[in-house]
Structure 1
Amino acid sequence: MRTVLCFGDSNTYGSSPMTARGDSFRYRPEIRWPMRMAAALGPGWHVIEEGLPGRTTCHDNPFEGPHKNGLRMLPAILESHAPIDVIVMMLGTNDLKGYLGLTAFDIAKGLRTLLLRIRQSAAGPGGGAPAVVLVSPVPIEECGPTAEGLAGGAEKSRRLTGFCKDLADEFDAAFLDAGSVATVSEQDGVHLDPQAHVALGAAVAEKVACLFARA
């Protein structure tokens, strides 16, 4: 059985779009894109959901705590789930938050740091490194209850896609532009609706299957 680790933020966790009051809930497993991917891949695959709302690439959250730092938590996650055949990583949206003051290039540097840590790990089969599918996040819109905190983020989120493609080439990783198959909800401009989860799950499943077909 092959193991797929989905490492991401609230859109991997399955958070619904927020209302004006900031209310949100977690979609049922059969709606969330990692489980949609699992269904598409079929038997013989073990899919692990490792999504955390608010997770950044490599930055502490001064309001919610250092556990939101993806780099800080990644080594333990890799060890606890090893051996991992492939990691599907979709991060960067929370790095767009205004209080971090990051450019798209800065966010890409954070992603590169994570990819280096994965490459240097022994979390894959036989003590090697896991394969990677790098997913550039769906570009955001500045609307609804998230607009003020993400001011300026829409343009940066679109620039991030090109940087992600370059990183995938550098690390010989598979690449998926999530914005090519899904859009964010108009309700909050950040999170995915059920239809987007369906589309993303199918697209990621195809990337994972092709990755192993060529191996």
Structure 2
Amino acid sequence: MLPNSFFGGYIMGHIVCFGDSNTWGLWPEGMGRYDKDTRWPGILRNTFDENKYLIVEEGLNGRTANEIDEDEPYLNGMDYAEACLLSHRCIDILIVMLGNNDIKARYGKNAEQVADSIEGLVKHMQRVLNEKQPEPYSVILISPKGLDERILGDGTFDEESIAKSHELGSYLSERAKKAGWYFVDADIPEVGLSCDGLHLAKSGHAKIAEMVIEIIEQISC
């Protein structure tokens, strides 16, 4: 719970989970969405006292950090970020996990360029919070689980996309360290993928939640 001079008195701390389909909780095997207790933001909700933190799920299927899809321009995270943040003030912890949609073959970005886009998005979000929210906050940047060969087939991702997805973590780690953000590397064997080689298995959601919870507990001490 945060002391809040802007709104007066005390308010519940908001933890905003900003991401793509792996934050939304897409479930390929069931052609739908994992339930609220399986999704990693939902596991956070079940872990922390609801009087201390409100967990806000801001996942959108197909979201990019800063790529514009002519058919679906609303997927651009940069364009939506300010409205999102201002809707959920006051934010205690901002968690961002993006990147896999930015490495789609049609965008032609390498891993370093995708990391630049994500860094630019998070810094933009910080500028918004620094201007509009007087209370302190923390940032957790998650490098997403990399793709595997099961994603190949329709041309959306190619073999280079797979390679880039596994290179992304090192670039994001460097940027997080320099910016003073907490960092989680989800591209580890313990974070499992489902049948399509892109979306998290239940075990993947559980492992990401475990790593994020550890950091939140550090922040809360």
Q: Give the one of 155, 171, 185 matched to 1:163.
A: 171
The equivalent of 2:184 in structure 1 is 176
Q: Deviation of residue 132 (structure 1)?
A: 0.4
Partner Cα separation in structure 2 for residue 99 and residue 129 of structure 1: 39
Q: Deviations over 1:86-126 (max 9, x none)?
A: 11100001011111111001101111111211221236995
Instruction: Provide TM-score, normalisation by structure 1.
Output: 0.89
Q: Give the one of 206, 209, 214 matched to 2:214.
A: 206
SS at match of 1:195: helix
Is residue 27 of structure 1 aligned with residue 38 of structure 2?
A: no
Partner Cα separation in structure 2 for residue 146 and residue 88 of structure 1: 31
The equivalent of 1:90 in structure 2 is 97
Q: Identity of aligned pairs, percent?
A: 29
Letter in 2 for 1:184: L
Q: Give the one of 73, 80, 90 matched to 2:80.
A: 73
Structure showing the higher strand proportion among its residues? 2
Alignment of 1:33-44 (within 5 A): 33-43=40-50, 44=52
Partner Cα separation in structure 2 for residue 207 and residue 194 of structure 1: 21
Extract unaligned runs of 5+ from structure 1: none
Partner Cα separation in structure 1 for residue 33 and residue 178 of structure 2: 34
Letter in 1 for 2:199: H
The equivalent of 1:122 in structure 2 is 129
Alignment of 1:143-154 (within 5 A): 143-144=150-151, 148-151=155-158, 152-154=160-162
SS at match of 1:3: strand
CA RMSD across the alignment: 2.0
The equivalent of 1:14 in structure 2 is 25
SS at match of 1:46: strand
* Contact in 2 for aligned 1:137/1:177 (Cα 8 Å): yes
Partner Cα separation in structure 1 for residue 39 and residue 153 of structure 2: 21
SS at match of 1:132: strand
Report which of the two structures shows the higher radius of gyration computed on alpha carbons: 2
SS at match of 2:141: strand
SS at match of 2:173: helix
Extract unaligned runs of 5+ from structure 2: 1-11
Letter in 1 for 2:122: L
Q: Deviation of residue 161 (structure 1)?
A: 0.3
Partner Cα separation in structure 2 for residue 118 and residue 110 of structure 1: 12
Using CA pairs under 8 Å that are at least 6 residues apart, name the structure with larger relative contact order, 1 or 2: 1
Q: Give the one of 9, 13, 25 matched to 1:2.
A: 13
Sort the Cα spacing of 1:146 and 1:169 in 2 relative to 1 into closer, same or farther, 3 A: farther
Sort the Cα spacing of 1:198 and 1:50 in 2 relative to 1 into closer, same or farther, 3 A: same
4+ aligned runs moved over 6 Å, structure 1: none
